């Protein structure tokens, strides 16, 4: 099966936001990945509801919203209203993860759970059947442009086994340092969704880079 490609929308230049989203609309990107950072869960701040709404206003593809924030349960409904189709929360940020997953699903959004590189996939044993997406961070969250962590390959295999064991339908998403060198092995190990930020946007031809990622095996 061809992978789902979810370029990470930078939104670093407000003037270019519309053209960035329009390029993605015209590309083979399947989803738009949006990173929300609060300066507390991660040492960086990205943007909030108004910018997400602006992206949603122009986007013709599903918005895959990754919350790198503490107490995400306080904002789930607002992220849904702002246009999120999938909402991922970090296991490390949730005191009551099972409840938060149900809260996301109650809004009609798909529920994702993200794990930091140091977090064992085994911690998802009792909640993976409820999740639609598991986002394995392949860099420490907070910044684009970091080096891919090789241990991710092992985590994908362990995650895939757990998904099968628990009869879960969850997709495995890989986020951080994804490029054309590591994409084939990520897919071979069992990744379903590839998030790519700097590799796409710093390439000479982002639309072609998305095609290349989509056809990598």
Ligand X SMILES: O=C(CO)[C@H](O)[C@H](O)COP(=O)(O)O
Residue 197 interacts with ligand X (CB under 6 A): yes or no: yes
Shortest Å distance, C-beta 138 to ligand X: 8
Q: Which of 38, 132, 175, 192 is catalytic?
A: 175
Q: Which residue has the tokens 């044993």?
A: 125
Residue 190 interacts with ligand X (CB under 6 A): yes or no: no
Strands (E), the chain: 4-7, 32-37, 63-68, 86-90, 110-115, 133-137, 171-175, 193-196
Residue 173 interacts with ligand X (CB under 6 A): yes or no: no
CB-CB contact of 108 with 140 (8 Å): no
Q: Which stretch binds ligand X (CB under 6 A): 20-28, 69-77, 112-120, 137-145?
A: 137-145
35 is catalytic: yes
For ligand X, the closer CB: 33 or 189: 33
CA dist 116 → 80, 91, 107, 126, 208 (Å): 23, 8, 25, 18, 30
Q: Which stretch binds ligand X (CB under 6 A): 101-109, 126-134, 135-143, 154-162?
A: 135-143
181 is catalytic: no
């Amino acid at each position: 099966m061809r992978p789902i490609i979810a370029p990470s929308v930078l939104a670093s230049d407000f003037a270019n936001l519309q053209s960035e989203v329009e390029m993605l609309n015209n590309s083979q990107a399947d989803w738009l990945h949006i990173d929300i950072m609060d300066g507390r869960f991660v040492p960086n701040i990205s943007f909030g509801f108004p910018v997400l709404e602006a992206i949603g206003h122009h986007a013709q593809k599903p918005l895959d919203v990754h919350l790198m924030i503490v107490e995400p349960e306080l904002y789930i409904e607002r992220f849904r209203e702002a246009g999120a189709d999938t909402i991922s929360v970090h296991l490390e940020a949730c005191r009551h993860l099972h409840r938060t997953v149900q809260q996301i699903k109650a809004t009609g959004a798909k529920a994702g759970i993200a794990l930091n590189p140091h977090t064992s996939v085994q911690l998802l044993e009792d909640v993976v059947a409820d999740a639609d997406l598991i986002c394995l961070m392949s860099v420490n969250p907070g910044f684009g442009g970091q080096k891919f962590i090789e241990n991710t390959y092992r985590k994908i295999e362990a995650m895939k086994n757990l998904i099968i064991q628990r009869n879960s339908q969850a997709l495995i998403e890989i986020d951080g340092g994804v490029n054309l060198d590591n994409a084939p092995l990520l897919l071979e190990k069992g990744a379903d969704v590839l998030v790519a930020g700097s590799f796409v946007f710093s390439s000479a031809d982002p639309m072609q880079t998305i095609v290349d990622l989509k056809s990598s095996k």
